Amino acid sequence: MKIGIVCYPTFGGSGVVATELGLELSKRDHEIHFITYSQPVRLDLLGSKVYYHQVNVPEYPLFLYQPYELALSSKLVDMVKLHDIELLHVHYAIPHAYAAYMAQQMLLDEGISIPIVTTLHGTDITLVGSHPFYKPAVTFSINKSNAVTSVSESLKQDTLRLFDIKNQIDVVPNFIDINKYQAEYTECKRHMMAEPKERIITHISNFRPVKRINEVVEIFNKIQQQIPAKLMMVGDGPERLMAETMVAEMGIDDKVIFFGKSNEIDKILCFSDLFLLPSEAESFGLAALEAMASGVPVVSTNAGGISEVNAHGVSGLLSNIGDVNDMVNNALSILKDERVLAKYKVNASNEAKKFNIFSIVEKYEAIYKRVLNC
């Protein structure tokens, strides 16, 4: 199949999932065309079956807001015609599903029929999409898609609750390529990061308020009062400065490293003992799954779809949103005892295998075949 993929190319779960999906599909002999405003961050492998087409939005002083959806839908029309793309898979409803629908209508006018598969990722539904400003457009785009998928059962239920949906929604969970996370612990540069007796705790996100970055710091501060520990803060976003200020005020600067955005997540996870995710909303929690795949147990909230990924008492432990003390106790119960930690590490890695890329990509292929009627 020739498949056009539209996503947010920056750091963020939806872009990562779209990119990894495209790369895996290309290995299965599909021709993949990424159509985005910049090259997706994890797309370092343009090959004979993987193409990238940039969407340019010319700056006109006349416009207060530059019309990205218009540029995207025009680019989709051009690329579908130029490369005989058979199907569009758009990640994130806003504005991708909307732009894809416009492209579909323009192409229909020229006698070209192209189905749209829309994957809902979370914030396009729970935070942004349900805002009254966007709700009619999001509802319309979901209902007009030829297939709709959501990355968790929880997100599906949120979508049905928040919007008037007439379409079927298939749950296709996010995935990881387990082989990429098989690095032996001995290969890690652990000694450069912490003393042997210190536990390494890691948080990775886009540092948005929904991630409750202040709680990451609070939880770590309480943990390090009881056991020797270091905190690795990976990512960047609006709450980073606040977190850095908190760390300084708590006097724990020597125990916290801020990495900023990183393309070496696997290298950081391979020396981590625990992953912290105190989010107040999370449709899936791809970062938690990536941690588990590296054999890192997860202490998280039970928000949204996290509990579909982090199995309580197996790959990690779950707490209610905002229950800092419970998350501290959970973390300590895993970290204090060497044997308990070792058990959680093995379990985390085993649980992650349930989300291996091969079985999940097949689900998308089946949906593509369905909408193409083949």
Interface residues with ligand GMT (CB under 6 A)? 12-14, 17, 92, 121-123, 126, 151, 174, 206, 208, 210, 281-286
Choose between 202 and 224: whose C-beta lies nearer to ligand GMT: 202
Choose between 4 and 285: whose C-beta lies nearer to ligand GMT: 285
CA–CA separation, 93 and 79 (whole Å) = 20
CA–CA separation, 7 and 14 (whole Å) = 7
Q: How far is the CB of 186 from ligand GMT (least distance, A)?
A: 30
Choose between 161 and 336: whose C-beta lies nearer to ligand GMT: 161
Number of residues in the chain? 374
For strand 256-260 and strand 316-319, is the pairing parallel, antiparallel, or unpaired?
unpaired
Q: How far is the CB of 11 from ligand GMT (least distance, A)?
A: 8
Phi, psi of 26, deg, nearest 5: -65, -30
Contacts of 366 (CB under 8 A, 6+ apart): none
Q: Do residues 87 and 368 make contact, with C-beta atoms less than 8 angstroms apart?
A: yes
Q: How far is the CB of 74 from ligand GMT (least distance, A)?
A: 24
For 301, the 3-state DSSP assignment is: strand
Q: How far is the CB of 304 from ligand GMT (least distance, A)?
A: 6
Choose between 220 and 355: whose C-beta lies nearer to ligand GMT: 355
Phi, psi of 18, deg, nearest 5: -60, -40
Q: How far is the CB of 148 from ligand GMT (least distance, A)?
A: 14
Choose between 34 and 92: whose C-beta lies nearer to ligand GMT: 92
Choose between 67 and 237: whose C-beta lies nearer to ligand GMT: 237
Q: How far is the CB of 205 from ligand GMT (least distance, A)?
A: 7
Beta strand ranges found along the chain (DSSP E): 2-6, 31-36, 50-54, 87-91, 116-120, 147-150, 169-171, 199-204, 229-234, 256-260, 274-277, 298-301, 316-319
For residue 233, list its beta bridge partners.
203, 258
